[in-house]
């Protein structure tokens, strides 16, 4: 409060012209970072290229912060996971996620007709009818079950103009070497998230790395994923079909609307 009064007093004391100059320059700073068109174009270019890659296996090492509350203190703790995403566009997908305690894993199967969730420990699974494409599956899972498709960014980043409109600023920061590849480093700011994307240079603009900072919590938890692409995978015929392991037990998935 004192500081504010001091500033006001200073303003009053100094010539009016000078004061308006100061506020004008402050305003300029606040609005200076319009999204860099090149950084926005990089998203679109990456998305367009990825849609031409019909089959791939993507190995991802990720870390995800959780906010641990112990009494009155909060602390970020980091979880590590590996994800293997096997895709045959537009209607086959499998995700195998492991991390946390030994023996703990989550799996998603989609074959263009059904979506199956299988988790260990416990060996539970649930199968629900699914729409015909991965794109439709993403919104269907969210709307009906509150489930996000794992690594959905691979399919959505740069693909939807409405999503791009949320970007308040975007910048190209230079190039970095990630896993031996040269990748262009971009930073994007939205109201509720800051995110950074590294895109491989050259004629295969694949994402090398992604970082997301959640701004809606004051602890600002982060998620970081590093991608390793295989664009020439050997995917077996049965890769996307779920067959229940021995002693697995079928249960239901609660629909979002049932509980709200």
Partner 1 sequence: MNLKNFSSTACAALLLATIASTASAFQVRGGAQTSVNSGAWQSAHETNVATRQANRTTREGNRQDTVQQVSSNRTNAATNISNNRMNAAQNISDNHGCCYNNGGWYNDHPVATAAAVTTTVVATAAIVGSIVHTLPPSCSAISVNGVTYQQCGSTWYQPQYSGTSVQYVVVNAPH
Under the rule (CB under 8 A), what is the footprint of partner 1? 62, 64-71, 74, 77, 79, 81, 83, 95, 97, 99-101, 103-104, 106, 117, 119, 121-122, 124, 126, 139, 141-142, 145-148, 150-153, 156-157, 160, 163, 166, 188, 190, 192-193, 195, 210, 212-214, 216-219, 221-223, 249-254, 256, 258-260
Going from the C-alpha of 23 to that of each of 2, 5, 18, 135, the distances in angstroms are 19, 16, 9, 47
Cβ 238 to partner 1, closest distance in Å? 23
With respect to partner 1, which residue has the nearer C-beta, 11 or 169? 169
Rounded CA gap, 190 and 170, in Å?
Answer: 9
- Residue 58 CB-half CA count within 13 A: 26
Cβ 198 to partner 1, closest distance in Å? 14
In DSSP notation, 54-70 reads: -EEEEEEEEEEEEEEEE
Cβ 21 to partner 1, closest distance in Å? 37
CA dihedral 161, 139, 58, 228 (to 10 degrees): 40
With respect to partner 1, which residue has the nearer C-beta, 77 or 173? 77
Strand partners, 60: 83, 227
With respect to partner 1, which residue has the nearer C-beta, 20 or 75? 75
Strand partners, 225: 62, 210
In DSSP notation, 184-214 reads: EEEEEE-SSEEEEEEEE-SS---EEEEEEEE
97 φ/ψ angles, rounded to the nearest 5 degrees: -120, 125
With respect to partner 1, which residue has the nearer C-beta, 7 or 124? 124
Cβ 204 to partner 1, closest distance in Å? 21
With respect to partner 1, which residue has the nearer C-beta, 10 or 69? 69
Cβ 231 to partner 1, closest distance in Å? 22
Of 33, 29, 28, the residue nearest 171 (C-alpha): 33
With respect to partner 1, which residue has the nearer C-beta, 83 or 200? 83
Cβ 57 to partner 1, closest distance in Å? 17
């Amino acid at each position: 409060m004192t500081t504010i009064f001091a500033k006001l007093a200073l303003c009053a004391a100094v010539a009016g012209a000078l004061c308006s100059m100061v506020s004008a320059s402050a305003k300029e700073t606040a609005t200076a970072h319009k999204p860099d068109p090149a950084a926005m174009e990089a998203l679109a270019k990456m998305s367009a290229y990825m849609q031409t890659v019909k089959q791939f296996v993507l190995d991802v090492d990720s870390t995800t912060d959780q906010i641990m509350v112990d009494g009155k203190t909060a602390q970020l703790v980091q979880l590590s996971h590996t994800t293997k995403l096997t895709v045959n566009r537009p209607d086959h997908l499998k995700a195998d996620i492991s991390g946390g305690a030994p023996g703990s894993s989550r799996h998603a199967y989609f074959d263009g007709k059904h979506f199956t969730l299988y988790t260990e420990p416990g060996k539970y699974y649930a199968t629900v009818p699914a729409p015909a494409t991965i794109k439709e599956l993403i919104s269907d899972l969210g709307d009906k079950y509150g489930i996000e498709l794992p690594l959905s960014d691979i399919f959505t980043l740069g693909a939807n103009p409405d999503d791009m409109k949320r970007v308040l600023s975007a910048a190209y920061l230079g190039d970095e070497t990630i896993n031996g590849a040269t990748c262009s480093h971009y930073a994007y700011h939205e109201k509720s998230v800051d995110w950074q994307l590294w895109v491989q240079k050259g004629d295969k603009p694949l994402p090398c790395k992604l970082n997301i900072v959640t701004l809606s919590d004051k602890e600002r938890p982060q998620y970081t994923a590093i991608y390793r692409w295989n664009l020439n995978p050997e995917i077996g015929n049965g890769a996307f079909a779920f067959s229940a392991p021995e002693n697995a037990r079928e249960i239901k998935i609660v629909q979002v609307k049932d509980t709200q």
